[in-house]
Every structure is written in C-alpha cells, then in structure tokens.
C-alpha cells in the first residue's frame, strides 16, 4: 500500500522534543501545586531544588521547540511559500466545518460530515490553543524564574498572581493534552495507535478517507511544504 508523507523529519523531531519537554514539565511542576497528592515525586527525584532544575531544563527544551516552529515556518512562509503555518491558519471553512460536525454528531443534519483538508478544524483549534497556552507559560514562567529581577519593576503580589496563573493553565494544559492524546492516538478509529507522527507517513487509503480535500490537492500536485 502506498504511503503519503504528512510530516517532515524536522516536524517529527520538534514534536518529540516538545512532547518530551511537556511531559517532564508536568512531572516536575504539578507536585508544587499538589504537594499533598504527588509530593512524593520531588522526593523521588532528590528534592525540590533538583526537581526545579529539571523543570527549568525542560522549559528550555519547550522554548527551543516553540522558537524553531515560529522562526523556521514563519521564514519559510515568507521567503519560500506554503508551509505548516499556511495549513493551520483558521479559515471560514473551519468554522463551518465545526458547526456541521456539531450538527452531524447531534443528528440535526442529514448532510455528510465535512471534507477535511490536511488539518481539520479540531487539529487547528488544538494547535492554536496550545500556542496560546505556551505564550502564557512563557510570560508567567519567566516572572517566576527571574523572581528577584521581576520584583525590581513589579509589586510582590504580582509574583503570586503569576504563580496561580502558571499553575492553573498547567491543569488546563493537562486536560488539553489528554484530549489530544485520545483524539490522535487512543481513538478507536486509530486503534491501536496512530503512528504517523513517528513515521511521518500514512497510508494513501487513510488519507483518501480522512482528508479527502488534501488528497485531491495531492492529486492535482498542490502539496504543501512539509518542511
């Protein structure tokens, strides 16, 4: 069966770095918010000082992944042509697809489900929600990381506010990652697991079934830059 390239090697590498960094950030950061429930994790790692060192190293990895994504694909869009960012911009059709999907699930419409392009409205919504959360983590995390420097130009209570925002969005992020993991890897449609993000390719028949508009673009030779 023919395979179609969906992700480039750079996209796979960035996904691995980002996913691993996020996992480590959860493991080392959430015990600070829930010490009574999972305070044993810092004890297992050698104490809170070591745990926070690991947390900051993981934060650097997460920042590197985000900066690479923005700079590389942004420059690719500007100077070369269509890239990943081109495909994940939210368009009017995505809003219509979301409405039609809701109608279809609630059986309020007899129309066929939306015909997705390379990325569905769900994938785009996930991307931009993660992107927005990352910006909030970057701002609040920087304030907490450089707390002494931050207090030079802001009241001390702002640090406490930053901590609560940072922790609150971490919990929200866990819910988002759980939803993403289910939709991509644990959904019965993808049983046992969707290996595309690890291999970079997917079967042609699966592309034709799940992403018919993208398949038609490929047939016309209108493929997006995978780099």
Please give the domain boundaries of the chain with CATH numbers for all domains: 3-219 (1.20.950.20)
Q: Which uninterrupted H or E stretch holds 3?
A: strand 3-5
Percent of the chain residues past pLDDT 90, beyond the cut: 54
CB 38 within 8 A of CB 31: yes
- pLDDT-derived band at 110 (thresholds 50, 70, 90) equals low
In terms of phi and psi (left: phi > 0; alpha: psi -120 to 50; beta: otherwise), the region of 159 is alpha
Q: How distant, in Å, are the alpha carbons of 28, 30, 58, 147, 155 from that of 51?
A: 6, 11, 11, 18, 27
CB 141 within 8 A of CB 56: no
Question: Per-residue pLDDT tens for 32-47?
Answer: 999 999 999 999 999 9
Instruction: Please compute the mean of the pLDDT values over residues 200-211 and round it to a whole number.
Output: 91
222: pLDDT strictly greater than 80: no
- pLDDT-derived band at 225 (thresholds 50, 70, 90) equals very low
pTM score: 0.86
The angle that helices 156-181 and 121-145 make with each other, rounded to 10 degrees, is 150
β-pairing, 3-5 with 201-203? antiparallel
Cα dihedral across residues 44, 49, 50, 52: positive or negative: positive
Alpha helices (H) in the chain, listed in sequence order: 9-33, 35-38, 40-45, 48-79, 84-88, 92-105, 121-145, 147-150, 156-181, 196-199, 204-210, 212-219
Q: How distant, in Å, are the alpha carbons of 7, 23, 220 from that of 192?
A: 20, 21, 32
74: pLDDT strictly greater than 60: yes
Bigger pLDDT: 173 vs 191: 173
Specify the length of the chain in residues.
227
- pLDDT-derived band at 197 (thresholds 50, 70, 90) equals confident
Question: Per-residue pLDDT tens for 49-63?
Answer: 999 999 999 999 999
């Amino acid at each position: 069966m023919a395979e179609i390239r969906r992700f480039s090697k750079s996209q796979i590498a960035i996904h691995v770095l980002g996913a691993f960094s996020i996992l480590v950030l959860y493991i080392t950061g959430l015990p600070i918010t829930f010490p009574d429930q999972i305070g044993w994790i810092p004890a297992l790692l050698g104490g809170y000082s070591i745990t926070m060192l690991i947390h900051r190293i993981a934060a650097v990895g997460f920042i590197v992944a985000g900066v690479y994504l923005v700079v590389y694909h942004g420059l690719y869009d500007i100077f070369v042509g269509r890239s990943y960012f081109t495909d994940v911009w939210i368009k009017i059709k995505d809003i219509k697809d979301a409405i039609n999907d809701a109608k279809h699930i609630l059986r309020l419409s007899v129309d066929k489900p939306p015909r997705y392009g390379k990325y569905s409205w769900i994938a785009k919504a996930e991307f931009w929600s993660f992107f927005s959360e990352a910006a909030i983590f970057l701002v609040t995390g920087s304030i907490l990381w450089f707390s002494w420097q931050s207090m030079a130009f802001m009241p001390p209570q702002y640090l406490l506010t930053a901590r609560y925002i940072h922790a609150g969005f971490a919990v929200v992020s866990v819910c988002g990652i759980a939803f993403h993991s289910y939709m991509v890897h644990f959904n019965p449609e993808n049983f046992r697991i969707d290996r595309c993000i690890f291999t970079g390719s997917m079967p042609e028949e699966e592309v034709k079934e799940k992403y018919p508009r993208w398949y038609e673009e490929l047939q016309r030779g209108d493929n997006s830059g995978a780099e």
